[in-house]
Amino acid sequence: MKLAEPKSTLPLSFVLAFLWALYPLPPELALWRPDLMQLLLIFWGLHYPHKVSIGVNVVLGLALALMLNQTLGIYALSWAVSAYLNRLYIRRARMSSALVTTLWVCFLVTLAFSLRFFIYALIGQAYNGWQYALPIITTTLAWPLVVMSLQRWRRDY
């Protein structure tokens, strides 16, 4: 059974993603933490683009940067760029297979992480080389779990 509109699911999923990002983990596990917020923004952007626009990506990116005490605007910029590209790809993604969509999500996540890495390098706060790529792997692997858990609210066109 599919629901017409995700009235409470959409904000609740973002609240859970904020809690996931704020939950303290040991440093060894924090390196592997997937970016659940970006996955939710991609998912809701694909299936409800009229509800999750580029502006929502910017606002949530600013809010997360404030909550994590990060440089303001880094998440907003990277998520806005990935939301824009996601919006351009929306028709193809709806007709693509799960594997192609997962590769698209991997591209968007890699792009967002690369933008953040580039900006951190510009302002002199670069991270540890290869360890910065670990969340890209876990975020891409978490995509099918996000799709399966939110399958009920997926919009089929």
pLDDT per residue over 95-124, tens digit each?
A: 889 999 999 999 999 999 999 999 988 998
**Angle between helices 54-68 and 9-22 in degrees, nearest 10:** 30
The pLDDT value given to residue 52:
92
Give me the pLDDT at residue 151, please: 84
Main-chain phi, psi angles of 132, to 5 degrees: -70, -20
For residue 143, how far is the Cα from the chain centroid? 9
Q: Which residue has the higher pLDDT, 8 or 98?
A: 98
pLDDT grade, residue 157 (50/70/90)? Answer: very low
Separation of alpha carbons 57 and 76, rounded Å: 6
DSSP letter string, the chain = ---S--TTHHHHHHHHHHHHHHS---HHHHTT---HHHHHHHHHHHH-TTTS-HHHHHHHHHHHHHHHTPPTTHHHHHHHHHHHHHHHHHHHHHHS-HHHHHHHHHHHHHHHHHHHHHHHHHTT----TGGGGHHHHHHHHHHHHHHHHTGGGPPP-
**pTM for the whole thing?**
0.90
Q: How many CB atoms lie within 10 A of CB 127?
A: 14
Closest to 81 (Cα-Cα) out of 61, 102, 67? 61
